[in-house]
Amino acid sequence: QGIFVLGLPYALLHSGYSGLFLIMLSAALCCYTGKILIACLYEENEDGQLIRVRDTYEDIANACCKKLSPKLGGVVVNVTQVMELVMTCILYLVVSGNLLSHSLPYVPVTEKTWSVIAFVTLLPCVFIKTLKIVSKLSQLCSLVHFIIILVAMTYCLTQIHQWSWAKFRLSIEFEDFLVSVGVIIFSYTSQIFLPTLEGNMKNPGEFRCMLNWTHFFACVLKTTFALTAFLTWGEETKEVITDNLPSFLQTLVNLCLLTKALLSYPLPFFAATEIVYACISRGSYSNYRSPLFSLGVRGSFLLLTLLMAMFIPHFALLMGLTGSVTGAAMTFLLPSLFHLKLKWKKLPFIEKCADISVFILGFLCSLAGIVCSIKGLLEVFG
């Protein structure tokens, strides 16, 4: 349950009852594509036993595109992964600036300046070399997130006497609905990490069961949180739901959110820079393996996230665009395409239809979401 769960009530505002259905449908589809992605890591041996012959998303992509180019698939996947991870880092900076400006409204500082201040606190990230430090920060991040959700849900439940299902829309604007699709998809994306996760499980045979339960609980929690928050504020629901809380709670929760955003930043940042550094230093590029060069890669990425956060300071629209571009590709398009390519001869007709349907659905959602999110951003800047 990441920080982007806070955008789900806003998605319900623009999607109405269909938004609730989408949250559940996205959970089911993301669970399915997670399973078929892991299936692509395995091949049957002569005895009919499944053997893990691939380790990463990149290996799967290279296996699918080896006739065209041995490295083409890996390049496409790596670029997409880096895009998603960097966009996630940008969102954390954008949200940090937003939270600081709302927490300290009496300080005469713009939201962009607050983002710069948040950026300064993240400068030590360039010195993170292993996941040990990142894991400790993520542990603290989980604790802070629990506090935030608990406070927001408790307040919403105290307002239960004001709830009304009449607040839900029966008719919706098509463009707003498509932006909401991107927001909802992005709140479920985890396919990037699944091959590594499955490979490190003590009993990989339990992976499918684990995926079923985690997506089920994620769906229940997301639906409950989005529903209670939207029923509490209705048409007044804001892009980041904590902005709706009364002032005495808002400052406390916003500071907790700020802490969570800053603690969350190192994981996607570390993952993105590791992918880029590994690609550059691979093979004959041994000259680029120096610690100084690694520091330069991390420093450049850190600066890139700040510059983009300065120019696109709109949380929900940026999240919708990210979900439409990279989220849909990594979650729906590529897993279904790779599964069809690698397993076509062994797949039953129903699974082939399911994969093709997921691919078409993902493509349409991605295309429409990109157009509408970009249009929304242009209107904001125009």
Q: Is the pLDDT of residue 283 over 60?
A: no
- Give the confidence band of 164 by pLDDT, cuts at 50, 70, 90: confident
> Is pLDDT above 50 for 284?
no
Neighbouring CB atoms inside 10 A of 137's CB total: 17
pLDDT at 271 over 70: yes
Instruction: Compute the average pLDDT of residues 264-270.
Output: 87
Average predicted confidence (pLDDT) for the chain: 83
Residue in 171, 168, 189, 169 with CA at minimum distance from that of residue 365: 189
State the pLDDT at residue 362: 81
Position 171 pLDDT exceeds 70: no
CB 179 within 8 A of CB 372: yes
Span between the terminal Cα atoms of the chain, in Å: 34
Q: What is the pLDDT of residues 53-73, one digit of tens each?
A: 998 888 899 998 888 777 888
* 291 against 42, higher pLDDT: 42
Look at residue 160 and tell me whether its pLDDT is greater than 70. yes
User: Buried b vs exposed e over 248-270: b needs ≥16 C-beta within 10 Å?
Assistant: eebbbbbebbbbbbbbbbbbbbb
- Is the pLDDT at 31 greater than 90? The verdict is yes
Asked if pLDDT for residue 221 goes beyond 60, the answer is: yes
CB 373 within 8 A of CB 179: yes
> Residue 51's beta-bridge partner residues?
43
Q: Which amino acid is at 183?
A: V
Residue 335 has pLDDT above 50, yes or no: yes
Query: What is the rounded CA–CA span in Å between residue 190 and residue 212?
Result: 13
Ordered structural domains, the chain, with CATH = 2-381 (1.20.1740.10)
pLDDT over 70, % of the chain: 90
Dihedral sign of CA atoms 141, 146, 149, 154 in order: negative
Indicate whether 40 pLDDT > 90: yes
* pLDDT, position 301: 86
Q: pLDDT tens, 184-205?
A: 877 777 888 788 788 878 898 9
Counting every residue, how long is the chain? 382
**79 burial level (CB within 10 Å; 0-12, 13-18, 19+):** middle
Q: Residues 344-355: pLDDT tens digits?
A: 988 999 999 999
Predicted confidence band at 317 (pLDDT cuts at 50, 70, 90)? Answer: low
Distance between CA atoms of 116 and 314, rounded to whole angstroms?
A: 16
Q: Which helix (H) or strand (E) holds 113?
A: helix 111-121
- Between 90 and 176, whose confidence is greater? 90
Q: Is the pLDDT of residue 285 over 60?
A: no
Q: What is the pLDDT of residue 92?
A: 84
**Does residue 52 register a pLDDT over 70?**
yes
> What pLDDT is stored for residue 110 in this prediction?
82
Residue 69, Cα to own-chain centre: how many angstroms?
29
